[in-house]
Amino acid sequence: MSNIIKRIGESLKRAGMLETSPLCVYVGDSVPEEAVPMVSMDTCAAKTILTAALDKNSPPLYMGHDCLKGVCMGAITWLGFSKKISPYIKYFVSTGHENFRDGDAEYLKASPELFDKFKESIGPITLSGKYLIVSSCDDYMDDELSEGSEGSEDGKDYVVRSFLCFGDGQQIRNLCSLIHFRTENPFESIIAPFGPACATMITYPAHLAEKVPNNTAFIGPVDPTGNSWFPEDYMALAIPFNLARDMCNDLENSFAFKRPEVAYPEKRSDIRPTDGKI
């Protein structure tokens, strides 16, 4: 059987005409031989993951309990490696507290109480494996993966949970349109939830959080604290395994194949200011 992970990656790249590499996110109790710890590239997991998509020569990346030193404390919690969270985080994310970082705050939430309700709404975060691994779909080496999310590589069992794409506005719009090729309810399939960049990219689509909705893709990130490194003309689209597989199967019947001149126009009409005159 041909490798469905590579086929999904090729389909996502084709559908969006992506210049970046689609990534797959998987968990397991071992790591590929060529993989390197995320923290060896940057303390921010989300920044490291974006680097892997931009750099075609990037090796697979992983995070595990044996390589957490130096990792952003938020990522350690959001990616399921710790159940502990500072009682002051709810203040830091909202209005600040005099006993934490001299009252410094991010002002992302109106109040600490709203942050508590947000945490409750997503539920516990659990990683169902020893390692979290992110690699380009082309680097996923299991050629015997069945039509599901479980596979093995040299006797090492992995579970592919989700896929991650980065692109400009048109590229992400086209990928979102392909998701909607098979939707019945237009309001449930793609959402842009609150949370750090690593939650948008990994936690939500990989279903690490208990109350994440099923069959939903996540667009973002909506966290402005990453704006200093996240390209201003880019967005991320993170897609659960089953939804990405449907996109792969639907590609040749969709607008992306049958009406490429609409999806990827060679000529555009400029919108010019009217100076108030219609």
> Could you state, in order of their start, the residue ranges of all structural domains in the chain?
4-83+124-262
- Which tens digits make up the pLDDT trace of 181-200? 999 999 999 999 999 999 99
Q: How confident is the model at residue 147 (pLDDT cuts 50, 70, 90)?
A: very low
CB 207 within 8 A of CB 80: no
* pTM, to two decimals: 0.90
pLDDT of 98 reads 80
pLDDT of 269 reads 83
Instruction: Report percent pLDDT > 70 for the chain.
Output: 92
pLDDT of 276 reads 65
Q: How confident is the model at residue 278 (pLDDT cuts 50, 70, 90)?
A: low
pLDDT of 143 reads 44
Residue tagged 């989700």 (tokens): 162
- On the question of a cis peptide bond just before residue 221, with omega within 30 degrees of 0, the verdict is yes
Say if strands 190-191 and 235-240 run parallel, antiparallel, or are unpaired. unpaired
Q: What value does the CA radius of gyration of the chain take, rounded to a whole number of Å?
A: 20
pLDDT surpasses 90 at 84 = no
- Residue 191 and residue 51: Cα distance in Å, rounded? 24
Q: Which helix (H) or strand (E) holds 171?
A: helix 169-179
CA atoms 32, 77, 240, 222: torsion sign: negative
DSSP state string for 48-100: HHHHHHH-TTPPPEEEEGGG-TTS-HHHHHHTTS-S---TTHHHHHTT-BTTB
Neighbours of 67 (CB within 10 A): 16
- Which tens digits make up the pLDDT trace of 196-252? 999 999 999 999 999 999 999 999 999 999 999 999 999 999 999 999 999 999 999
Report the mean per-residue pLDDT for the chain.
90
Give the contacts of 216 (CB within 8 A, at least 6 positions apart): 188, 189, 190, 191, 204, 240, 243
Q: How confident is the model at residue 132 (pLDDT cuts 50, 70, 90)?
A: very high
pLDDT of 2 reads 39
